[in-house]
Structure 1
Amino acid sequence: MARPKALAEGEDVGGIASDRLRSLIERIERLEEERKALADDIKDIFAEAKSAGFDVKVLRQVLRVRKMEPAEFEEQQTLLDLYLRALGM
């Protein structure tokens, strides 16, 4: 597939400002790179926690709970308790 010809600085194509479009695309690309770097950092921290003897599944649950509103957490705990009792656990 042939590569499209380069546009002159500030040239519009079909009513689209090429400089603005390029700027938006490049910003998105930079943020995606940052997101990947952050995800890698988080993965490393989970690996560190695991090697220190922490249960990664439980850590993820703790993180999820910390994001909740207290009332939402209380409701989920109440339902969990109810369901477990209903199952005889």
Structure 2
Amino acid sequence: MSSISSDQLKNIIEKIERLEEEKATVSTDIREVYAEAKSIGYDPKTIRQVVKIRKMDQDDFQEQEALLDTYMNALKMRPGSSSDS
């Protein structure tokens, strides 16, 4: 990049600023939906977890669940985990 076009740079910066504003609005909307869910009796923390899981690749999710189960059993935090230590 040998020369800087001030108009082009200004357009890029303004585009980023608009997107940042949209992101803030969307973030507020998402918080409101979680608050709504909570007000009707759902647990927002669990809903966040479900949303996160739904974004994951199925293989990654299964691998994470298996590893979590292994760790929980090793720490005797699951029913049926071995009691020898």
TM-score between the two structures when normalised by the length of structure 1: 0.78
Name 1:54's counterpart in structure 2: 42
Runs of 4+ in 1 over 3 A off after TM superposition: none
The 5 A counterparts of 1:6-85 are 15-85=3-73
Structure 2 unaligned runs (5+)? Answer: 78-85
**Structure 2: which amino acid aligns with 1:52?**
I
Larger radius of gyration: 1
Q: CA deviation at 1:47?
A: 0.5
Structure 1 unaligned runs (5+)? Answer: 1-13
Identity %: 51
* C-alpha separation in 1, matches of 2:76 and 2:11: 60
Q: CA deviation at 1:15?
A: 3.2
Q: CA deviation at 1:19?
A: 1.1
* C-alpha separation in 2, matches of 1:29 and 1:39: 15
Question: When the two structures are aligned, how many residues end up with a matched partner?
Answer: 76
